[in-house]
Structure 1
Amino acid sequence: MSSFAPDSIVLNRKLPLWYQVSQSLRASILGRSTADPLRLPTEERLAEHYGVSVLTMRQALKELEDEGLITRHRRRGTFIEPDATRGAPVRLLGSVDAIVAQQSGMTAELLEHGRVPVPAEFAEHFPDLTEAVTYHRLRSDEKTGEPTNHARNYVRPELAARFDPQELVRRPMTKVLRDVVGADISRITDTVEARLADPATARLLRVPLLSPILHYTGITYDSAGRVLDVAVIHYRGDRFAFSVTLDAT
């Protein structure tokens, strides 16, 4: 029986390896084709693929098993759960690959885009700009079609001019800036807070007015400390959880 082939990543040794591996494998699973095999390679082969120990690989697989994405059977192997729930915790730990992994497993609809004045709340992040290019997208579960979050990005105009807006239907903004534009992404600062759904968010996410939502702000910097992109995302409170992992080593 053939096995599912996960993508490869370059690991950041400053972050927990099990976490990076679990997020990469998670992104591969959620982005798989329906024709891909459901059986995963053995722990040993996966550990070799990612360049980590079997113990680290086991910890990464336990994370995915707890999330319901895979099932593990003694002597039979590890299998992708075809009907796994696609909702996922919002985790603040990370590499750019980890951020991209959080955005996998969803479809996206580009609702609008264009130049707008820099919002007053973000003026400090764009001190040299009066306008930014905004992109508003609605993301949905790729299996059920149920809305999960809506995102609005504010991007520097010179970067926005270097990619087709339709790229955002196929891949996350972080990946577009890094892989299509070739932007020098150094770090992303995340902030998550609890809020209540306003009328526009309630309509887009198909939830009752004043339902709990997670309000996320992500600020992307280059190595010179310049802000490239500010993302504001509203997640459905019944589909996502807030989780923080601290590395004590």
Structure 2
Amino acid sequence: MTAFAPDSLVLNRKLPLWYQVSQSLRASILGRRPDAPLRLPTEGSLAEHYGVSVLTMRQALKELEAEGLISRHRRRGTFIEPTARPGAPVRLLGSVDAIVAQQSGETATVLDHGRAPVPAELAEHFPGADEVMRYRRLRCDGSSGEPTNWAENVVLPGLADRIDLDDLTRWPMTKVLRDVVGVTISRITDTVEARLADPETARLLGVPLLSPILHYTGVTYDDEGRVVDVARIHYRGDRFSFTVTLDA
């Protein structure tokens, strides 16, 4: 059986090399033939193939391992997970400023806030923590006052002590953490999916039960790789769309 052969890639110097390499290799993995071997070439061979350093290649592989597409074994090599199939989330690269700009321009009301047990579905993001600080806000259109989305932010308690509720009525949590609290944000992982409005979402947004909702989850990391905030935002499906622009 021939070795797994990743696609070639023309690198764009405007984007991080590790990101471009990880996305190219990801596409090769998900688009592979059913009989393709599961073992990947060595880090050195892949780095030579893509024309990048071994350190860059290692970072790209680490990203794919975090997605569950590959597993790495000391002395044995790197292997594609047999369960890796098309349908895994596509990751798009942007800037923190773009996210802040997207979430700005609306008026927000703080519905409630306080300490709460770590939600079971978010436990992996807050290892060792028993409690988190939770904020819930309703955002409305600045001109019409019509509800557009409601957001829940789950934040580390140590950071919450420096958050002013007045700031949360004016700015997104991302901006508050970065510009007011002083957190150095390294990256934000976004997931967008279609859902149906549950009773609480329908009540807050003023839409019929089971209406289409655009559900956004944003996981914010600081420069030490620690998760400092998980945002879950419910957008009205009739007011928002998800658009991506890619430079060729």
TM range (shorter): 0.5 to 0.7
Give yes or no for contact 1:93–1:245 (8 Å, CA) kept in 2.
no
Instruction: Determine the structure 1 residue equivalent to 2:186.
Output: 186
User: Aligned partner of 2:179: which letter?
Assistant: D
User: Does the residue aligned with 2:184 lie in a helix, a strand or coil?
Assistant: coil
After superposing the two structures, state which structure 1 stretch, 166-175 or 92-101, moved more: 92-101
Per the alignment, residue 98 of structure 1 pairs with: 98
1:245 maps onto 2:248 in alignment: no
- CA distance in structure 2 between the aligned counterparts of 1:226 and 1:220, rounded to whole angstroms: 8
* 1:138 counterpart residue number: 138
Alignment of 1:141-152 (within 5 A): 141-152=141-152
Contact 1:134 1:154 in 2 (8 A): yes
- How many residues are paired up? 162
- For 1:96, the aligned partner's letter is V
Structure 2 unaligned runs (5+)? 1-13, 17-91
How does 1:35-46 map onto structure 2 within 5 Å? none
2:159 aligned residue: 159
One-letter amino acid of the counterpart of residue 206, structure 1? G
Residue 43 of structure 2 is matched in structure 1 by none
In structure 2, give the amino acid aligned to 1:169: T
Please name the residue that 1:28 is paired with.
none
Instruction: Please give the alpha-carbon distance, in whole angstroms, between the structure 1 residues aligned to 2:172 and 2:134.
Output: 14
Deviations 1:158-211 (A, max 9, x none): 111112122100111000000000001000000010000011100100001100
Query: Counterpart of 1:214 in structure 2: which amino acid?
Result: L
Structure 1: how far apart are the matches of 2:223 and 2:107? 31
Deviates more, 1:159-168 or 1:123-132: 159-168
Q: Does the CA-based 8 Å contact 1:93-1:244 persist in structure 2?
A: no
- Taking the TM superposition and a 5 Å limit, the aligned residue runs for 1:59-74 are none
**Secondary structure in 1 matching 2:165:** coil
What CA distance in whole angstroms lies between the structure 2 residues aligned with 1:227 and 1:201? Answer: 26
Offset from partner CA, 1:90-126 (integer Å, 9 cap, x none): xx65111000010122100000000000100000000
Correspondence list, 1:1-249, <5 A = 13-14=14-15, 93-248=93-248
Higher relative contact order (CA 8 A, sep 6+): 1
Query: What secondary structure sits across from 1:102 in the alignment?
Result: helix
What are the superposed Cα offsets for residues 32-87 of structure 1, whole Å, 9 maximum, x if unpaired? xxxxxxxxxxxxxxxxxxxxxxxxxxxxxxxxxxxxxxxxxxxxxxxxxxxxxxxx
Q: Distance in 2 between matches of 1:247 and 1:127?
A: 37
Q: Supply the distance in 1 between the matched residues of 2:121 and 2:106 (Cα, whole angstroms).
A: 29
SS for the counterpart of 1:201 is helix
Measure the CA separation in 1 of the matches of 2:105 and 2:93.
19
Higher CA-based Rg: 2
After superposition, the CA RMSD in angstroms is 1.8
Please give the alpha-carbon distance, in whole angstroms, between the structure 1 residues aligned to 2:93 and 2:107. 23
Q: TM-score, normalised by structure 1?
A: 0.62
Q: Share of identical aligned residues, percent?
A: 73
Give the match's secondary structure for 2:124.
helix
- What is the CA–CA distance in structure 2 between the aligned matches of 1:164 and 1:131, rounded to whole Å? 19
Q: Is the Cα contact below 8 Å between 1:189 and 1:218 reproduced in 2?
A: yes
